[in-house]
Amino acid sequence: MIRRFALFALAVAAFAATGLTAADARDRVAVGTLKCHSDGKVSLIFSSDDYRCVFYSVDGGSYRYTGLINRVGLTAGVTHDETLVWRVWAPSTSVDRKALRGSYVGASAGATVVVGLGANGLIGGSDKTISLQPLSVEANTGLNVALTVTSLRLR
């Protein structure tokens, strides 16, 4: 049952995230990877969690951010040691240390039974020109199910 829910949730998140950026994908270039880590959270309908993030630019630079992720929807459980990784897309290859600052919104889905996986598709950032896409890879431990609307604030 949980396995079916996880597959369904991942499919829904993939569909939602693809809809966010399909038209814009032609005008964007991959500029790096954003990796965010949290010690975990307890969630029931709503969750809010702080993350430590690092953007690894394709030109070799790395920039640190603090992040806050809020999720609202079908979410219940406890996770530990959560890591999210996104491919970062921008309108040009010129990305400075402040480029990823801002708010992002999208969809998330995942399931965890001891070890879990999830998907998060978000768009926003500097003048809503940065995409964290197509989907993040999420790994965590605990017991959790989620199908939510998600926002990320990077500072």
Give the chain's domain count. Answer: 1
pLDDT of residue 28: 83
Exposed/middle/buried for residue 27 (C-beta within 10 Å: 0-12, 13-18, 19+): exposed
pLDDT digits (tens, 9 = 90+) for 25-48: 567 899 999 999 999 888 888 889
Cα 126 to Cα 43: distance, rounded to the nearest angstrom: 29
Q: How confident is the model at residue 24 (pLDDT cuts 50, 70, 90)?
A: low
Q: If DSSP codes are grouped into helix, strand and coil, which group holds residue 7?
A: helix
Which of the pair, 121 or 87, is modelled with greater confidence? 87
Domain hosting residue 60, numbered range: 2-154
- Give the mean model confidence (pLDDT) for residues 91-119: 84
Tens of pLDDT, residues 48-104: 999 999 999 999 999 999 999 999 998 888 888 888 889 999 998 888 888 899 999
pLDDT at 17: 46
Helix (H) or strand (E) holding 65: strand 62-90
Task: Please give the pLDDT value at position 109.
Answer: 84
pLDDT for 67? 97
- pLDDT classification of 136: cutoffs 50, 70, 90: low
Residue 6 has pLDDT above 50, yes or no: no
* Position 137 pLDDT exceeds 90: no
Q: Which residues pair with 49 in a beta bridge?
A: 69
More reliable by pLDDT, 129 or 61: 61
The stretch 13-21 carries a mean pLDDT of 45
- In this model, does residue 129 exceed pLDDT 60? yes
